[in-house]
Amino acid sequence: MQPAQEFGDNPVEVRETGHYTEEYVPSFVEKWDALIDWEKRAESEGNFFIDLLRKWGVRSVLDVATGTGFHSVRLLAAGFETVSADGSAEMLARAFENGTKQGGHILRVVQADWRWLNRDVHGEYDAIVCLGNSFTHLFSERARRKALAEFYAMLKHDGILVLDQRNYDAILDDGFTSKHRYYYCGEDVIVEPEYVDEGLCRMRYSFPDNSTYHLNMFPLRKDYTRRLMSEVGFQRIETYGDFQHTYRGEQPDFFVHVAEKE
Ligand code: SAM
């Protein structure tokens, strides 16, 4: 029997930074990876990150939120020296497998939680990428500051941190009633906020076989993320709107922050 997601009697009270390892149960990860086909994702994202990293003259990259390996594999294919970290062993195993399947790439994987990154990952990098709305898993400000400080310490003096996030300002400000539905791969997966307050965005993922999964995330306001980055020492932060196709028109679904160490 595969483990089920466990949120207890009152799911909206689950606001713990360490809970992410229990949320990415194998059945959810498998389904997700099968439905969000990599080619379509690559198409919608384009070469945004590759071009950005090349523009900055980056050679070595630490992917701190490897997940199932989408960005790590793209970075390796584009010729970047890449180390792939994640706090979930489940995710890394799948990423490694995906790497060999997609072009025979051997991923250098390291299991590491961002809060103690320097303990488990070694070296300094030209860039750290934290993509796919991952930073949102941290629930306390202390954890966010600690993680950003760990990222900062692992960058070379002129390195950059590239971190993306969902546009939570829109979700928080438009309110729960006017919630927006995000469709992935056409209409196959429906992603929508089931509950929102200033301290929690609980997202529901509905799949065509009627199965549903949830992720509890902290709704990072854009300017708050920028402020934290600046407070831990990043000197300049540039924020881009959507890099990918948006179904909404006026507001971007994602923001991408590029923070310079010096
Ligand atoms: N970047 C991948 C993508 O775009 O497909 C994965 C994104 S997934 C939403 C978030 C990833 O961040 C998960 O693989 C999770 O295990 C990892 N993660 C969340 N919190 C973490 C933490 N504190 N330390 C290390 N990894 C963490």
As a whole number of angstroms, the distance between CA 192 and CA 3 comes to 23
As a whole number of angstroms, the distance between CA 215 and CA 204 comes to 7
Going by alpha carbons, the residue nearest to atom 2 of ligand 1 is 67
| Residue 246: predicted pLDDT | 44
Question: Which whole-number Å values give the CA distances from 83 to 89, 134, 241, 260, in the listed order?
Answer: 15, 17, 27, 20
As a whole number of angstroms, the distance between CA 65 and CA 230 comes to 21
Establish whether residue 86 lines the binding site of ligand 1, counting it when its CB lies within 6 angstroms of any ligand atom: yes
Centroid of ligand 1 to alpha carbon of 197 (angstroms): 22
| Predicted TM-score of the model (pTM) | 0.91
With pLDDT > 90 as the criterion, what percentage of the chain qualifies? 60
Establish whether residue 87 lines the binding site of ligand 1, counting it when its CB lies within 6 angstroms of any ligand atom: yes
Centroid of ligand 1 to alpha carbon of 249 (angstroms): 28
> Average pLDDT, whole number, for the chain?
88
**pLDDT tens profile 79-126:** 999 999 999 998 999 999 999 998 899 999 999 999 999 999 999 999
DSSP string of 135-191, one letter each residue: GGG--SHHHHHHHHHHHHHTEEEEEEEEEEEE-HHHHHHHTTTTPPPEEETTTTEEE
Whether the ipTM is more than 0.85: the answer is yes
Establish whether residue 137 lines the binding site of ligand 1, counting it when its CB lies within 6 angstroms of any ligand atom: yes
What's the sign of the alpha-carbon dihedral 114, 239, 72, 192? positive
